[in-house]
């Protein structure tokens, strides 16, 4: 039916006209990110870092530069080094995440931001001060303790539940305030406590964790 198919086509487009636009108005609205999204930045917790430079060793491109000196204040608590330089040359980074996988103390996380555009490549090097002062919105990539993942009880500290949205992932990296170093570790994660008997970073947190266990 020649003429009637034309009317049918018009009705199809009219139905689309009445639909809500699919567009998300980016600077004002944001799409909800996947919690494991690897952003163009890194989140680093100095309190957790021992300066072991595993990240620098495992980086396939060798773009992480670490200079340490023995820390005088931390020596009584173990082999803790003080970091002097921690440069990540982001312009050559391929965001493979091997540095994050290599970090034994959950000090380095993939970030979740993506607005790191610069006019010069020189500005793409993240220095230790930028890492210190950055708002810490870690990605859950290789850090499952941050996810309130179904089946696995979360630490309760590292995860924040979101009322609406994807029921599988309750963690929204950009959704809440920045996370402190106490909230991101594996030691609060019950699976980790059971299997690995936890980590004791310093006496204070060890006591807290011990009190929680009992």
CB of 61 to another protein, least distance (A): 39
Distance CA 149, CA 156 (A): 11
CB of 31 to another protein, least distance (A): 15
Please state the closest distance from residue 27 (CB atom) to another protein, in A. 10
- Our finding on whether 23 is near another protein (CB under 8 A) is yes
Q: What is the DSSP letter of 208?
A: H
Per-residue burial over 155-177, b = 16 or more CB atoms within 10 Å of its CB, e = otherwise = bebbbbebeeeeeebbbbbebee
Binding region for another protein (CB under 8 A) out of 17-25, 119-127, 130-138, 204-212: 17-25
Q: Could you tell me if 81 and 70 are in contact, meaning their C-beta atoms sit under 8 angstroms apart?
A: yes
Q: Closest distance between another protein and the C-beta of residue 39, in Å? A: 26
**75 is a site residue for another protein (CB under 8 A):** no
Q: What are phi and psi of 64, to 5 degrees?
A: -100, 125
The answer to whether 101 touches 109, Cβ cutoff 8 Å, is: no
Q: Which stretch binds another protein (CB under 8 A): 2-10, 37-45, 130-138, 159-167?
A: 2-10
Residue 9 binds another protein (CB under 8 A): yes
119 near another protein (CB under 8 A) = no
Burial 59-82 (b: 16+ CB within 10 A, else e): beeebbbbebeebeeeeeeeebbe
Q: Which is nearer to another protein, 10 or 94 (CB)?
A: 10
Does 28 help bind another protein (rule: CB under 8 A)? no
Is the CB of residue 70 less than 8 Å from the CB of residue 61?
no
| Choice between 23 and 73, CB closer to another protein | 23
Contact footprint for another protein (CB under 8 A): 1-4, 6, 9-10, 12-14, 16-17, 19-23, 25
């Amino acid at each position: 039916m020649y003429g009637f198919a034309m009317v049918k086509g018009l009705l199809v487009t009219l139905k689309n006209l009445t639909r809500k636009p699919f567009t998300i108005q980016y600077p004002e609205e944001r799409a909800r990110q996947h919690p494991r999204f690897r952003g163009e930045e890194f989140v680093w917790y100095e309190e957790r870092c021992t300066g072991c430079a595993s990240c620098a060793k495992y980086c396939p491109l060798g773009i992480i530069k670490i200079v340490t000196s023995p820390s005088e204040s931390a020596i009584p608590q173990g082999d803790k080094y003080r970091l002097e330089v921690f440069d990540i040359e982001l312009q050559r980074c391929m965001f493979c995440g091997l540095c994050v996988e290599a970090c034994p103390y959950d000090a380095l996380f993939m970030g979740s931001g993506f607005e790191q555009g610069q006019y010069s490549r020189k500005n793409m090097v993240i220095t230790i001060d930028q890492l210190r002062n950055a708002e810490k919105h870690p990605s859950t990539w290789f850090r499952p303790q941050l996810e309130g993942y179904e089946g696995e009880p979360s630490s309760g500290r590292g995860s924040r539940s979101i009322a609406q949205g994807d029921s599988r992932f309750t963690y929204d990296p950009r959704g809440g305030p920045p996370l402190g170093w106490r909230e991101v570790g594996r030691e609060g994660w019950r699976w980790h406590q059971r299997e690995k008997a936890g980590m004791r970073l310093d006496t204070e947190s060890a006591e807290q964790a011990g009190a929680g266990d009992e």
